[in-house]
Amino acid sequence: IRVVETIPGKTTMALELPNAKRQIIRLSEILGSQVYNDASSQLTMGLGKDIVGAPMVADLAKMPHCLVAGTTGSGKSVGINAMILSLLYKAEARDVRLILIDPKMLEMSVYEGIPHLLCPVVTDMKQAANALNWGVGEMERRYKLMSKMGVRNLSGYNKKIAEAAERGEKLPNPFSLTPESPEPLERLPFVVIVIDELADLMMVVGKKIEELIARLAQKARAAGIHLILATQRPSVDVITGLIKANIPTRLSFQVSSKIDSRTILDQMGAEALLGQGDMLYLTPGGGVPVRVHGAFVGDDEVHRVVSYLKSQGEPNYIEGILEGGVLEADGDGGSDKSGDRKGSAGGSDNTHSSGVGGNESDAMYDEAVSIVLQHRRATISLVQRHLRIGYNRAARLLEQMEKSGLVSTMSTNGSRDILVPARAE
């Protein structure tokens, strides 16, 4: 039993009583509702139904990040699946791209191979840290582009690209590695990063993850990058003050104690929920959480949707997101490099590297070795800038140097050591 002091749109208060016969709310009911279809945002997510039976949808763009908690059996993973499917139904792959991080290796691996993915479903925690690292670099790159274009958010940027296309023009990339013939700018999609078990990630990688999540939560909204973080252990060492302060939207399924409820919602109540999709939804600045009966989506439904999406096209993965060599420690080069790949999604790199068979036959190998030895630094962005080539070709040149014993293997932070002694002057 829960006392509702004010019911939105009514002049009465209420007592919430559990229904003697539980009703199953299908996700199809929410996706087929008028309120979902009328929503203009491409990041509209179907949550379920409120206490009066009206469909509840939420706009991830306005959240702009979401923290989800719930103990085992509370319906948290089904809720995450419902959110992901809502996004897939609302937007095409060119408008919304996903990075799915799934430590449990079961919940989100079903989405492997859909065209909306930026990289394969991440199950290794070290790679998950690299994916978030890429997200930070992509955020900085987008801010630089938007600053140059004189726009304040991703929608304004894409609008300028569309207006230029209508006039038959192509806007040049101001940060191109080839300034004399810059590649044209393309529209940028929203990026949604979903982490299914934050506690596992925090245990393996630690403080670094907290910093990356905090940076994205603070700044990534205008750049069109959004986070959905889920955990079944909402303790203060997992949902830290830094993370909570930057993620105002909370969604709590049933938790095991009042302390856990306070951690996620800043108030009690989630410990008394009924489980199996019963949740409290706290909006930014709302103060009072709204009770929602979450939508149910079965595994067979998810498989059917995934099979259909796979038939529509292949995923266009961005190389290097999970490798750790994406963000180099040399300033603008790192973000420009990731930007080159992001804008082209493999297009411009392939044109640079076409005709290059193996690394041994690369005409630029000797020149690349000379640059690396001269600067005593072996980074992909360094080779890219000096030779004006794409990411893939620069990476292959460095791999060939590694095979030849000139540079070391890549460390966890993406750097390599020079194994050849410096030349005497």
What share of the chain in percent tops pLDDT 90?
A: 45
The domain spanning residue 365 has which CATH number? 1.10.10.10
Residue 342 has a pLDDT of 42
- Among the residues of 116-206, which ranges form H helices? 125-149, 154-166, 198-205
User: From CA 148, how far away is CA 215, in angstroms rounded?
Assistant: 22
Regarding whether 9 and 56 lie in a shared domain, the answer is yes
Average pLDDT, the chain: 84
Regarding whether 98 and 56 lie in a shared domain, the answer is yes
What are 5-36's pLDDT values in tens digits?
Answer: 777 677 888 887 877 788 899 999 999 999 99
Number of domains within the chain: 2
Q: Using an 8 Å Cβ cutoff, are 268 and 261 in contact? A: yes
User: From CA 201, how far away is CA 66, in angstroms rounded?
Assistant: 17
Regarding whether 184 and 226 lie in a shared domain, the answer is yes
N-terminal to C-terminal alpha carbon distance within the chain: 83
Q: Using an 8 Å Cβ cutoff, are 229 and 43 in contact? A: no
Check whether 338 has a pLDDT greater than 70. Answer: no
Regarding whether 363 and 233 lie in a shared domain, the answer is no
Residue 341 included in any domain? no
Regarding whether 365 and 307 lie in a shared domain, the answer is no
Residue 328 included in any domain? no
Regarding whether 150 and 207 lie in a shared domain, the answer is yes
Regarding whether 353 and 259 lie in a shared domain, the answer is no
User: From CA 358, how far away is CA 319, in angstroms rounded?
Assistant: 18
| 3-state class (DSSP) for residue 31 | helix
User: From CA 336, how far away is CA 205, in angstroms rounded?
Assistant: 26
Query: What residues make up the domain containing 366?
Result: 346-403
What are 139-163's pLDDT values in tens digits?
Answer: 999 999 999 999 999 999 999 999 9
Residue 356 has a pLDDT of 33
Rg (CA), the chain: 24
Regarding whether 281 and 354 lie in a shared domain, the answer is no
Average pLDDT over residues 57-70: 94
Q: Residue 103 class from Cβ within 10 Å (0-12 exposed, 13-18 middle, 19+ buried)? A: buried
Instruction: Quickly state the pLDDT bin for 106 (edges 50, 70, 90).
Output: confident
Residue 68 has a pLDDT of 95
Residue 307 included in any domain? yes
Regarding whether 117 and 9 lie in a shared domain, the answer is yes
The domain spanning residue 93 has which CATH number? 3.40.50.300
Residue 334 has a pLDDT of 38
What are 395-411's pLDDT values in tens digits?
Answer: 888 888 888 888 888 77
User: From CA 32, how far away is CA 85, in angstroms rounded?
Assistant: 13
Check whether 307 has a pLDDT greater than 50. Answer: yes
Q: Find which of 179-188, 253-262, 320-329, 358-367 is predicted with most confidence, using mean pLDDT.
A: 253-262
Average pLDDT over residues 324-352: 39
Instruction: Quickly state the pLDDT bin for 88 (edges 50, 70, 90).
Output: very high
Average pLDDT over residues 283-290: 83
User: From CA 339, how far away is CA 148, in angstroms rounded?
Assistant: 14
What are 187-238's pLDDT values in tens digits?
Answer: 999 999 999 989 888 888 878 888 899 999 999 999 999 999 999 888 888 8
For residue 64, is the peptide bond before it cis, meaning its omega torsion is within 30 degrees of 0?
yes
Average pLDDT over residues 313-329: 70
Tokens of 354: 């076409």
DSSP 37-60: HH---TTEEEEEE-TTS-EEEEET
pTM equals 0.75
Contacts of 290 (CB under 8 A, 6+ apart): 50, 56, 280, 281, 282, 283
Q: Tokens 């600045």 belong to which residue?
A: 285
User: From CA 216, how far away is CA 218, in angstroms rounded?
Assistant: 5
| 3-state class (DSSP) for residue 113 | coil
The H or E element containing residue 260 is helix 258-265
Average pLDDT over residues 176-186: 83
Q: Using an 8 Å Cβ cutoff, are 236 and 203 in contact? A: no
